[in-house]
Amino acid sequence: MAGAQTNRLGNGGLIDRSEPLNFRFDGKTFSGFQGDTLASALIANGVKLVGRSFKYHRPRGILTAGSEEPNALVELRTGARREPNTKATTAELYEGLEAASQNRWPSLRFDVMSVNQLFAPIFVAGFYYKTFMWPAKFWEAIYEPAIRRAAGLGRAAGVADPDHYDKAWAHCDVLIAGSGPAGLAAALAAGRSGARVILCEEDFAFGGRLLSDGGTIDGLPAAEWLSRTLAELAAMPDVRIMTRTTLFGVYDGGTYGALERVNDHLPSPPEHQVRQRMWRIVAKRCVVAAGALERPIVFAGNDTPGVTMASAMRTYVGRYAAAPAKRIALFTNNEDGWRTVETALGAGLQIAAVIDARPDVSPAHRSLASKGGFPVLHGSVTGVDGGKDGVKKIAVSLTGGARAEVEADGLAVSGGWNPAVGLTSYHRGRPKWRDDIAAFVPDGAPPGMVAAGAANGDFGLGICLAQGFAAGAAAAHHAGHNGKAGTAPVADDEAFSLTPLWHVTGKGKAFVDYQHDVTASDIELAQREGFESVEHLKRYTTLGMATDQGKTSNVAGLAIMAAVTGKSIPETGTTIYRPPYVPVAIGAFAGHHRDETFHATRLTPSHHWAAEQGAVFVDTGLWKRAQWYPRAGEKDWLESVTREVKAVRSGVGFCDVSTLGKIDVLGPDAGAFLDRVYINTFSNLAVGKARYGLMLREDGIVYDDGTTSRLAEDHYFLTTTTAKAGLVMQHLEFCRQVLFPELDVQLTSVSDQWAQFSIAGPKTRDLLKEIVDPTEDLSNEGFPFMGAREVALRGGIKARLFRISFSGEMAFEISVPARYGEAMARNLMLAGKPFGVTPYGTEALGVMRIEKGHIAGPELSGTTTAADLGLGKMMSTKKDFIGRVMAGREALAAPDRQVVVGIKPTDRARRLRSGAHIIPKGQTPGPGNDQGYVTSVCFSPTSDQWIGLALVERGRERIGEIVHAHDPIRGEDYDVELCNPVFYDPDGGRQRG
């Protein structure tokens, strides 16, 4: 049975009493209504204690009614959806909601760690820095785990988030943050002018302060004006108004970030719907009507449950019909705080006293006090008696020195209002001080952004409406819309009349930053220890560094620092404001970019066929490539790969190599262009021929390699490695457009247009004859090694045939339009059946290239020169090319460089592993004698042992030398012999045959 809502008022509020909701907090069942937040529902049930503080484990209640809440943080939901540090003040109530208090053990009311309070003298600012400096091992093993246990915030779910998050773009003329009077007036003006408008409201209901405070606008009750205004905006086709959406950041070029909590108000998102949506909004103009945040006054015991911001108190009473207390005291330094008294009296609550720190109180309020039968005390609150059961007695120091005591079960506090300057300050704008309201107001806002109403430091209802309306009309005008905006809504302005009061000295802890447990004395200590600059103050005390980013604490902290240093608050200055304005889940930033949709997946043209064959795939960049094709009875990958290699070397096999980058280079200057980007010459390549090319970066290091064929006088077909396909295209476009614009050449990426297969092995011709038109001459004379030309296939389609070999065997690569790729794979299997054709994957491809001593990714490591790879002689001396001059620099041409060499273990049975370091034999391994490392290894079926390639100092001069391979990561040490990197068919007779 749900507990009775003991503190629910009999009538009023914007809750739906016809829709009761049950929820659980710390295992106990309560009830609330649709339209409640978790905080308002807890208040309606008389719950005051909702959490324990971060450092001292002090009992804490609900301080605010909005996203600035530092205290009432809970773990919301259970299981995989459990979300720590959720503000009870913004969590909407739903049927079955489950929440738990944080940072207490074993229970909220009896918390063992609250003994921390007894040690409070040592838990001062800089405590961790001072205490845990030594010894280092103790920090990792003992202090840090203990502190993490003791001072955690909530617990993460610990399992994957089951929900989906979305990302979307939106574009508009005028973006408005906030739907209070200023924001709605801005939307009206901009919308009527014809601008495309987006208005984001953080709350689940539009209206801002109108929902709590009411008022009269254009002679209508606020609620009536609100519903008429929302109806007018809803009828405008180019105006979009969004609830549950927080504008959290401002980025360059008028781009804004907003988080829409699409389904956070439900137990779980409906099927196929997202939990949250991240909006990137591009707006020509932005009106910040984000309002202002009421600020606390720092006094001893100001964190006692039942101490609440005055405006929050009237929000709970007015909007939620939930009484935080039955007998309320108010501590204020301004006129606005008194509105809480009016609201409370109107709701039939008792006022214990008003403690007003100002010298005078208006006659109207005096008469209110005498009518309400409560005293007005001139002075300040110096202490609160209460603890975990909440406020009981309030100690007051009266002006003139006398003391008084007030009995109350709730204390409303108003220290004035701080405009929400976050959004306007995110481009390093420094807000400026305004004396009349004793607060910082926006200055130096990002281009195109203005603040209006309370966000601009102008708090009256009338001026909020007027400023918002003017800002909306001006923004629409700047964006090119000049329709008739009509007249601004009209209302009276309330008095504010504030006398600054930041800190009341007294006995006991007086909190500035509630969430991080930073007290006034911590700030004074920081100053004494030399951390006077606000940026130092922040980091030394952690003031304002909690998840609430100091929304209720920063300005008070600055004021206290200003007081102890004898400077003014504007001289003390503010720290730099940074987005996000409210915490945003990483999941929302990631959107759908997680798990299998983390990035796009590219499939080779023969992918589906390969999958049918049972291929094992490997991720290569975005590609899925067939790694090997296991057959029944094979016990591991090595057995499959070895079979594939043997089949190629003795018969014929094929492999999809479509992932190579492919670029058409066209134009009269195509040859001249390639001469400048490759170290070797291509302008003299005969039509119908292919050539291996190597390109350098301008700093002389090898960039990429591949074969390029000349298909016509003005048409070259260039291939790149799989990994560098996109980057080489970008590089070549840079060369063409920026470095050599005088050349008449065009580049077209055709990587996705061609399906390309390598067909290799002594029976390659036999297989090809079954595929190509019988009139095509495939003989050694008719199609010699490194030949390249278009051929007709049986059936008529055209293919490109290249007689190139990566495996060292007699081999061709055949290209067909990508749409025929899968058919080609099937045809090769069919036509090759008599010859025992074997599909092979990237592993076998790699084995055969190592056997043949061909370089690949591990050797093209971004540190090697052409000479290091044994290709120094390819560098033409007759022409300029990218990287030529730098490749000749002393260190890049030094004789003791690490160069590619072959290795084989002296113990034939030993397995090699790449990454092992090469050390001279007989020496103790260390950085001083590290002579290189193993780059590529494989089991060579041809050599019947493990072989590898390595980069070794002066390696080519040391063929035959036995060196030591040292592998500290795997704990292996063994001897290897340096050898010729070409293990297989060193004369190349097989590929030319």
Partner 1 sequence: MRIVCPFCGERELGEFTYLGDAKPVRPAADAGEEAVYDYVYLRDNVAGVMSENWYHGGGCRAWLKVTRNTLTHEISAVEPAAGAGAAKVGA
Residues making contact with partner 1 (CB under 8 A): 169, 251-255, 282, 427, 447, 698-699, 726, 729-730, 733-734, 736-744, 746, 880, 885-886, 888-889
Supply the Cα-derived Rg of the chain in whole angstroms. 38
Alpha helices (H) along 159-208:
181-192
Q: Are 688 and 800 in contact (CB under 8 A)?
A: no
Q: Which two tokens stand for residue 955?
A: 């390696």
Q: Which residue, among 835, 794, 788, 830, has the nearest Cα to 812 in the 3D structure?
A: 788
The residue (of 678 and 983) whose beta carbon lies closer to partner 1 is 678
Residue 822: its H or E element: helix 821-832
Shortest Å, Cβ 280 to partner 1: 8
Q: Which two tokens stand for residue 156?
A: 């993460």
* CB-based contacts of 531-534 (< 8 A; 24+ apart in sequence): 531/125, 531/126, 532/561, 532/565, 534/558, 534/561, 534/572, 534/573, 534/574, 534/575
The residue (of 28 and 171) whose beta carbon lies closer to partner 1 is 171
The residue (of 713 and 790) whose beta carbon lies closer to partner 1 is 713
Shortest Å, Cβ 536 to partner 1: 25
**Looking at the chain, how many residues does it have?**
993
Q: Are 523 and 485 in contact (CB under 8 A)?
A: no
Query: Which is it for strands 511-513 and 945-953: parallel, antiparallel or unpaired?
Result: unpaired
Q: Where are the beta strands (DSSP E) in 869-961?
A: 898-905, 917-920, 932-940, 945-953
The residue (of 171 and 826) whose beta carbon lies closer to partner 1 is 171
Shortest Å, Cβ 286 to partner 1: 15
Shortest Å, Cβ 813 to partner 1: 26
Q: Which residue, among 442, 448, 450, has the nearest Cα to 422 in the 3D structure?
A: 442
Residues with Cβ within 8 Å of residue 327, at least 6 apart in sequence? 349, 350, 351, 352, 407, 408, 409, 410
Counting Cα atoms < 13 Å in the Cβ hemisphere of 573 gives 14
Shortest Å, Cβ 878 to partner 1: 11
Shortest Å, Cβ 255 to partner 1: 7
- Cα(331)–Cα(304) distance, integer angstroms: 14
- Cα(87)–Cα(632) distance, integer angstroms: 58
The residue (of 171 and 819) whose beta carbon lies closer to partner 1 is 171
The residue (of 558 and 729) whose beta carbon lies closer to partner 1 is 729
Q: Which residue, among 216, 351, 266, 222, has the nearest Cα to 95 in the 3D structure?
A: 266
788 bridge partner residues: 802
Shortest Å, Cβ 474 to partner 1: 21
DSSP assignment string, 605-640: TTHHHHHHTTPEEEEETTEEEEEE---TT--SHHHH
Tally of CB atoms within 10 A around 737: 10
The residue (of 613 and 746) whose beta carbon lies closer to partner 1 is 746
Q: Are 41 and 32 in contact (CB under 8 A)?
A: yes
Query: Which is it for strands 432-434 and 439-441: parallel, antiparallel or unpaired?
Result: antiparallel
Q: Which two tokens stand for residue 789?
A: 């030309």
The residue (of 436 and 742) whose beta carbon lies closer to partner 1 is 742
Shortest Å, Cβ 444 to partner 1: 11
Shortest Å, Cβ 196 to partner 1: 15
Q: Which residue, among 74, 54, 50, 75, has the nearest Cα to 63 in the 3D structure?
A: 50
The residue (of 664 and 985) whose beta carbon lies closer to partner 1 is 664
Shortest Å, Cβ 892 to partner 1: 11
Shortest Å, Cβ 735 to partner 1: 9
The residue (of 153 and 743) whose beta carbon lies closer to partner 1 is 743
Shortest Å, Cβ 727 to partner 1: 10
The residue (of 327 and 427) whose beta carbon lies closer to partner 1 is 427
Counting Cα atoms < 13 Å in the Cβ hemisphere of 314 gives 24
Q: Which two tokens stand for residue 870?
A: 């044994």
Shortest Å, Cβ 742 to partner 1: 6
The residue (of 841 and 883) whose beta carbon lies closer to partner 1 is 883
The residue (of 25 and 426) whose beta carbon lies closer to partner 1 is 426
- Cα(976)–Cα(535) distance, integer angstroms: 58
Q: Are 554 and 574 in contact (CB under 8 A)?
A: yes
Shortest Å, Cβ 884 to partner 1: 8
380 bridge partner residues: 397
Q: Which two tokens stand for residue 152?
A: 């955690």
The residue (of 15 and 172) whose beta carbon lies closer to partner 1 is 172
Task: Please tell me what DSSP assigns to residue 547.
Answer: T
Shortest Å, Cβ 730 to partner 1: 6
DSSP assignment string, 256-289: EEEEE-SSTTSSSPPTT--SEEEEEEEEEEEEE-
Q: Which two tokens stand for residue 267?
A: 């137990």
Q: Which two tokens stand for residue 739?
A: 């470095």
Q: Are 979 and 903 in contact (CB under 8 A)?
A: yes
Give, rounded to a whole angstrom, the gap between the first and last alpha carbons of the chain: 90
The residue (of 77 and 736) whose beta carbon lies closer to partner 1 is 736
The residue (of 172 and 420) whose beta carbon lies closer to partner 1 is 172
DSSP assignment string, 82-100: -EEEEETTTPBP-TTEEEE
Q: Which two tokens stand for residue 219?
A: 């002679």
Shortest Å, Cβ 733 to partner 1: 6
Q: Are 254 and 148 in contact (CB under 8 A)?
A: no
The residue (of 447 and 926) whose beta carbon lies closer to partner 1 is 447
Shortest Å, Cβ 175 to partner 1: 15
Shortest Å, Cβ 380 to partner 1: 45
The residue (of 741 and 796) whose beta carbon lies closer to partner 1 is 741
